[in-house]
Structure 1
Amino acid sequence: MIKSGGLSTCITSKGTSSNGSSHIGVCHSDKTEYPFYYSIQQDTTSTRSCVSQNNSVSLTNFDSGIEKEKLLLSNDSPLNRQLYATKSSIHPITLSTSSYTSNHIQYPSLASQPISNENHLNLIYENILQSLPEHTDLRYFAVSILNNKGCRLEIPNTGVTLIIPEDAVLLDDDHLIFIALINIENQMPMLNNGQTRLSPVILIGPSEITLLKPAVLSFEHTAVLESSWKLNLMFSDDIFNWKTILTYGQENISTPVYLQFNNQQQAFILFESMGAYALIGESVSKHHHASKYIQMVSFFNRSSTTTETNSNEIISTLRLRFLDATTDALERCLTEEFALQNYLCDQPKQFILHDYEDQICINVDLELSSTSRINIGYKEISLKTFWSTRFDRSCFIFIIPNLQLDNEHSTTTFIDHLAMHIDVYQPTILDSALHTRLCVNTHNFLHNSGYNSSSIRQRQPTKSTKEISKLPSLIRQKLCVVLDPPNSLGNDWRMFANNLLGINYLQYFATKSSPTEHLLTLWEARQESLVNMINVLNQIGRSDAASIILQH
């Protein structure tokens, strides 16, 4: 039996494996802590634990003495210290135009932006900091100067971008606009039974900004759109009172926003009101089930403790984190785990979770050879834990036993090189199961943070401002002149919308003074190809519009 002292008191699990063996010793800590920790002990009775005939395996028992870990709190950042100092002080602060950097995270800065009236913007910035919801993590916050030229704003490594088009605001002086991710439970939409959150909760402000034309907010979501979803876009102007402003597929002429999805798990909202937005979903019915994308991220940790005999005992643990399959969720996870000096084993592994009355099973086997494994943990979790709760705050910890492989000539330790097989599945829907093999070279643990995180932090490569297709205002105006008027052939803005952006619901755009202008703003947010736009215009018989682009 593997002991795991220092984590928590063990609670017996009544789970049973497919071969009938019981799995005991699931430990969990006080769920008021952050995050939740589950220590899953070895299944010593499973017939899956096997040993080749020529080798013997010894399990080293130990008291782990693992202390409860503390996450790096968001208010440790310099910018957050400025925020809380501002909130507690009656004296005005000066906005620094240099970047704040902590643990390779760059915090909001205005240094790269031309500032015509710094004192004026300092005051606005101070007011923004004062108005942010309590415990806002400024690592997931971005601010930009806003004027009648519009702006483009994004939170790095989150997939969240905001585009304010030209002449969308009437401002005599430069102003500031911000976007922030909300991650505090009581500031998010409350979920009813069967509902799940499918996107980050995004706050846009300040509230005093009035938009004269729609802006575009883009973000990632986790819905498998081919499954049976009822999708609701939620809105709040104070982050506490949420309401549904759009049900996808049930839009009408009074719907205040437009929501579109592409085939890369991205969503786009055209909106005109400052506030907080979130995408919520649920299955259409009990007989038509929805599905969503989940990602598993694995980490390794090794530490040592002193036993009762004053000898050092090495403790190795596998940490499994399950998150929404979005870049912002992954970024939070990596930041938290690296702050705890844990080693990233591999790139995130994605699988599909179905809203079906089933449990989620997690099984981990330690590979002894090409023909033998030993089980080091098994856990069954209710669907509700993954579907309706903040499961991203959970960490499942598997204690890896100290194994020694004995043969006639030598004794080999497994501590320097580990291979583990992980299975995550719903028993009645095995087609979507996740099966993966992890290889951990623990020598690397001493020298780096593991798998190259820079290659996975941005799921889709971010284009620089110069690379993003953006039409000059003069060309936009000319395209609006020729495409806005309806014609008998129908190859006006309506066919342009359908062929270029796949838009079938046209009422939202039909209510605007210039439908083409808002289509071009959406096209810019989607970072579509200018060549593709020219081809579409030619295909629908509007070479006159295509020539406007080519002549410039």
Structure 2
Amino acid sequence: MATDEDRHDDLELFNKLCSDYSNLTGENTSLRIKLQTNYISTNFAAGAFDHTGGHLSLPRHDINLFIPPGAIEDGRLQTIHIFVPPSMNRGKPAPVVHCGPTGTTFRDHVILSFPVDPDYDEFVPRFTNTDAGSTEQWQPMLGDDDAAFIVKNGKCTLFITHFTGFGAEANDETPASTADKDDKTIRVGVFASKHTASDRLYSYQMRIRFYDASADASERMYQKEMSLFGGRLLDDDKRMQVNKRGGTVRVRVSKIAAGWRTMDASDENQRLEFEELWDESDETDASCTVRLRKINRAAPVTDVWATVSVWQEQSHGTTVTLKPSDTLQMSLRADPPRGYLSATQAFLHQQEELRPSDRVFPVLPLDIRHEMCVLLDVELAGGNDWRMLAEKFGIDSPTIMWIGRNKSPTSKLLDFWETQNVSGGTVALQRLCDLYQEMERPDVKELVEKVSSGDLRDSGYGTDRDSRSPNGSLASLVNSILSEPVPETHSMDASLKTKKKKKTMPLVEG
């Protein structure tokens, strides 16, 4: 149990991170930057959102909050944060996540997902109206017609309309036996050896590793990479649930940085048999390598990045996406002399705890989502409508009944799909096409193909996210700030409150 001293430490950390975020956004940073950038640390993430929505994530904890389009009223700017109190999560089968500002309400459900220990058979979601760091007053989230939850693939997904603290409690006090388990939770990470700007680098290798999800196993893998290869993790590793009946694991590499390409086409699409991820010892140490080469050897060495998508062939709907990037040589523009920095830029350069990250926007454009809902919400005699889509996603019957009571059941299912495919891009879209093909819905499949083929250039969510390094690097943010000569005067309607137990009135009425 967390002690009073632990809770005090949690609150101090939360207040510090809130203060840091307020300092970042307190200046006249342009609205464009605010709506495209989240600020994250290990235990805290914050950002300003409008009606277009987007994702707010804590990658190291595999926690994601999805704000669907329309959940925030058009014309409003809402500051949102999520926080994981360190002491409240020691040894627990599911994390405690505080969403805030506490009491904030939305026009429609937002979706919070977090991992749960697959060694426990059953979980009951809980909520508390207490602030981060204060004494917990937990209640089970049952019998609420305005909320729902799905526990699947080692994750708990909550549909909620207001902010407070959330978590989940295992029904059994002791973990179930793992001998006959069909599911296993692993982590996927991308590593590379260290390079310097002086290296004559004409080729580059990324190692995609699969290892046990425990903290000890992850640490052993990090140490192994460092000691044997001088390797570093290029992006936050991600949790992945694999199933004995889920089939072959696929690895696809796409959106490679300009000036680089794979050595061979086989590097872009690789397979790992399930037995490689699950042996008799229940340990995992499988990997595959992606080999890149420079297109023009005379070109200066700059940055390398790619998108790595991983999924099981027989597992519908879920795609794990990583966006590894490696800075081999920083340009002078990316690291300007300290005297030329504004207060915001100087803070970003000095800050080690809170860092900027590109916001991930919804995969499906607004108009395509609407057309899908129109087509799939109509219940057909053959059943190949939203109900079959829910079954394909593996959603249980009580939750399907709850989804059916909503104005647009398909919209809820697409929100769930978005949380399972954060940054999934074209790979997730192709898998969705395959799913509609199985459902014998070519009319809906055609809509997805329009998006994946690039026919729809403007999704309504902002600028082209592939035009710069995918990890929201400090350099890209500073360069964006430098490119705004006339700051906008738009002020945010909401600000983070950092006083203990102080409630914030809702800014978006439900």
Instruction: Provide the TM-score with structure 1 as the length reference.
Output: 0.43
Instruction: Provide the TM-score with structure 2 as the length reference.
Output: 0.46
**Structure with the larger RCO, 1 or 2 (CA within 8 Å, 6+ apart):** 2
- Greater helix share, structure number: 2
Name which one, 1 or 2, has greater alpha-carbon Rg. 1
- Greater strand share, structure number: 1
